[in-house]
Structure 1
């Protein structure tokens, strides 16, 4: 759910909008396959005398597991966005209750990023925005974090080189 034009201020425009890296969906996909395999094995191994109730119970358990382990994390990933405008960093997340955080660019003193081994393999990382308030804003699993870091650094400090 990207930021719409009516959510932007006068003369404000979007530079980049992204979701967290798709690596967040690896575990839910593994659970999806595990649920499907377990359901198939359970239905195949149930004695005929347990049918059809055992099948219905297994399907109900699989649906509950699917909602908790697959659908909820996938919807959380889908509904979470990071947006960079020419004035602020905007984060939005939440499925039923939307939570947002806006950080004006003028409040940012420093921008860093971290990339672990897995992050380097999948080309993502964590952006860290430091402010004078001392509480950094962390944006985990930003795709192509180095490119985003350069874009934000140019926004913040690009005019300093002209002086």
Structure 2
């Protein structure tokens, strides 16, 4: 999925667009599977009882309502949050946008970036993800967590910054 063109300046090209790493979705998927199994077991158990038809229906609807609330809150919401989080590098700036109902974001012009670092532990290295740390001229370092292939993004961003600083658009 490409980043929307309406947020880009005229003649600005996207170099990289990433969502956070899929590891953020492991917990929500496990919750979805466990809650679905529990709800299915509960519904099957209720249907096996010799209850009145209305009682069985009411209890089954309660189980369904509990499943919808828990899955919506602990699985669907994190997925939509993941889907609406964007880390974008263009040839002019770094953009980070996040939020579902309330959007927030930051843009960092490449010419303002002083240093680019990355950090990842052993698990992040196995999953090829990590934290990207960008220090700009006027701000404390910004940390962007769970960036997929963080080493490649680090190298790409470093080269974009190095190429931009000497260009005619951003003279030294």
**TM-score in terms of structure 2 length:** 0.86
Larger radius of gyration: 2
Q: Which runs of 5+ in 1 are unaligned?
A: none
Q: 1:48 aligns with which of 20, 40, 50?
A: 50
Query: Larger deviation: 41-50 or 97-106?
Result: 41-50
Q: CA deviation at 1:75?
A: 0.4
Q: Counterpart in 2 of 1:102?
A: 107
Distance in 1, Cα, partners of 2:84 & 2:106: 14
Q: Counterpart in 2 of 1:137?
A: 142
Distance in 2, Cα, partners of 1:11 & 1:22: 31
Distance in 2, Cα, partners of 1:160 & 1:68: 45
Distance in 1, Cα, partners of 2:93 & 2:165: 18
Deviations 1:33-66 (A, max 9, x none): 1111110121122333241211110011001011
Q: Which runs of 5+ in 2 are unaligned?
A: 167-172
Show the 5 A alignment for 1:2-151. 2-46=2-46, 47-49=49-51, 50-151=55-156
Which ranges of 4 or more aligned residues in structure 1 deviate by more than 3 Å? 158-161
Query: Larger deviation: 81-90 or 11-20?
Result: 11-20
Q: CA deviation at 1:134?
A: 4.4
| SS of match in other structure, 1:84 | strand
Question: CA RMSD, aligned part only?
Answer: 1.9
Q: Would you say the 8 A contact 1:109–1:130 is kept in 2?
A: yes
Query: Larger deviation: 60-69 or 40-49?
Result: 40-49
Q: CA deviation at 1:155?
A: 1.2
